[in-house]
Amino acid sequence: MLIKSANASDVKSSEITPKSLFDARRQFLRTAAIAGVGFAAGSIAPPAFARTGRGKKLAGVQPTKWTQDSLGEDLTDYESITSYNNFYEFGTGKQDPALYAKDFQPKPWSVVVDGEVDNPGTYSYEDLIKPHKLEERVYRFRCVEAWSMVIPWVGLPLADLVKRLGPKNDAKYVAFETLNDPERMSGQRRQVLEWPYREGLRMDEAMNPLTLMAVGLYGEELPSQNGAPIRLVVPWKYGFKSIKSIVRISFTKDQPPTSWNMAGAREYGFYSNVNPGKNHPRWSQAKERRIGEFLKRPTLSFNGYEEDVAALYTGMDLNKFY
C-alpha cells in the first residue's frame, strides 16, 4: 500500500547549520588547496565538494534528547555529509556516490522481512515506516578510515520496528541486506565486494535505544548517496556497520555473515565497535580527523557512547571480538 507524502515542514536548514562553521570550513579548504597541504596514509585529504541538491522536507519530526546542544559539538554541514562518503554500490571513490547516485530513484521501495519472526512479508516503504514517529537525533559518525562527522539524522528507533515485527524467542540476531541491482547501482558491476552488501547486529544491540533506522538527515528525506530510502545508523560502531538502501531484514538464530568481515576478517570484525586501542592492521585508530578540521582529535571509546553501550559487552575481550 502506498501512502501519500505529507506536506513539507517549515524547518529551514539555516536554523540548523551554523553559518560561521560553514564559512570557516570553506576558508580551510581554500587555504589547504593554496598551501598544497598533504595528509599521511590513514588520514584523509580535504574533500573536493560535489554540488548536491536538497531533498523534500520531512513532516512531523519529533525532537529528542539527542541534540546538538547535548552533544556539545558543531554539526557537519549538509554539503560535506552528502558529497564525501562511502557507498561502494556507486563506486569506491569518496565522491562517487554523489556523482553516480544522482539519478537513482529510491521509491517505490519494498523491504522483505523473514526468518524467525511472527510478522514476515514484503512491506512497502510506507507500510514499514508510517506507523512510527520520526525523530531527529544528532550523532557522531565515525569511519574505520579515521575520519568522522556529526550528523543530524531523522529516523525511527530500530527497537520499535523490531517489536512491531515480532521476533521469535530463538531470534538472536538481526541481519540486513542492501539492494543488489547493477543496472541501477553501477559500482556493483565490479566485484569489489560480494554483493549484495550484508550486515547484522546481535539482538541486544538492535534493541539498544541508540540504534536508528534513518530515513533522512537535516530534516529532509535521505539523499540517494547516503543510503535512501532507509538505512541503519549504529553510532558506537564504525560506519560500515550502518548498512544503506535496505531491502531485507532477517531474524536469525545464528550470527549472520557480514560483507566486510567476509572480505577481510582480520581487518573487519563482526562487532566493529569504535575502539581506540584496537588498531586496524594498516593504520591507527587512536585518533581521527573530523571533516572540516585540520588537526586530528583523540578517538573516543565507543565513539563517545560508552556509558550507553559498554554493558552490552561485559566480559568480552574487545581486542578479540572487534
Report the run of H or E that residue 279 belongs to, with start and end. Answer: none
Decide the pairing of beta strands 287-290 and 147-157: parallel
Residue 189's CB: how many other CB atoms inside 10 A? 11
DSSP state of 257: P
- Looking at the chain, the whole-number percentage of residues with pLDDT higher than 90 is 83
> Using CA atoms in the order 114, 137, 139, 22, what is the torsion angle rounded to 10 degrees?
130
Q: What angle is formed at CA 88 by the lines to CA 90 and CA 223, rounded to 5 degrees? A: 55
Average confidence (pLDDT) over 135-164: 98
Q: What is the pLDDT of residue 20?
A: 37
Q: What is the mean pLDDT of residues 292-305?
A: 97
The confidence score (pLDDT) of residue 4 equals: 35
Mean pLDDT of the chain: 88
Strand partners for 111: 123
Q: Which three cell numbers stand for residue 311?
A: 554493558
CA atoms of 278 and 58, how far apart (whole Å): 39
pLDDT band at residue 2 under the 50/70/90 scheme: very low
Which residue has 512497502 as its cell numbers?
124
Residue 284, CA distances (Å) to 55, 94, 241, 269, 277 in order: 36, 20, 19, 16, 9
Q: What are φ and ψ of residue 204, in 5° steps?
A: -70, -30
**Out of 31-45, 56-70, 151-165, 278-292, which region has the weakest mean confidence (pLDDT)?**
31-45
The three-state secondary structure class of 178 is strand
Distance CA 63, CA 158 (A): 17
Strand partners, 248: 112, 177
String of b and e for 45-54 (b: at least 16 CB within 10 Å)? ebbebbebee
Query: Tell me, what amino acid is at 134?
Result: L
For the cut 60, the answer to whether the pLDDT of residue 87 exceeds it is: yes
Contact 77/180 with Cβ under 8 angstroms? no
pLDDT score recorded for residue 45:
42
pLDDT of residue 55: 81
Give the pLDDT of residue 183.
Answer: 97
> With 70 as the cut, is the pLDDT of residue 18 above it?
no
Helix (H) or strand (E) run with residue 129 in it? helix 125-129
State the virtual CA torsion across 263, 267, 86, 40 in degrees, nearest 10. -140
pLDDT for position 11: 36
What's the CA gap between 54 and 42, in Å, rounded? 31
Lowest mean pLDDT among 49-63, 88-102, 301-315: 49-63
pLDDT(22) > 60: no
Domain ranges of the chain: 13-313
CA distance 299 to 142: 9
- State the CATH class of domain 13-313: alpha beta
Which of 6-10, 183-187, 232-236, 292-296 bottoms out in mean pLDDT, i.e. has the lowest? 6-10
**Residue at grid coordinates 560480494:** 194
Q: Which uninterrupted H or E stretch holds 68?
A: helix 68-71
For residue 263, count other CB atoms closer than 10 A to its CB: 12
pLDDT at residue 52 tops 50: yes
Q: Give the CB-side neighbour count of residue 85, counting CA atoms within 13 A.
A: 30
Contact indicator for 285, 128 with CB cutoff of 8 Å:
no
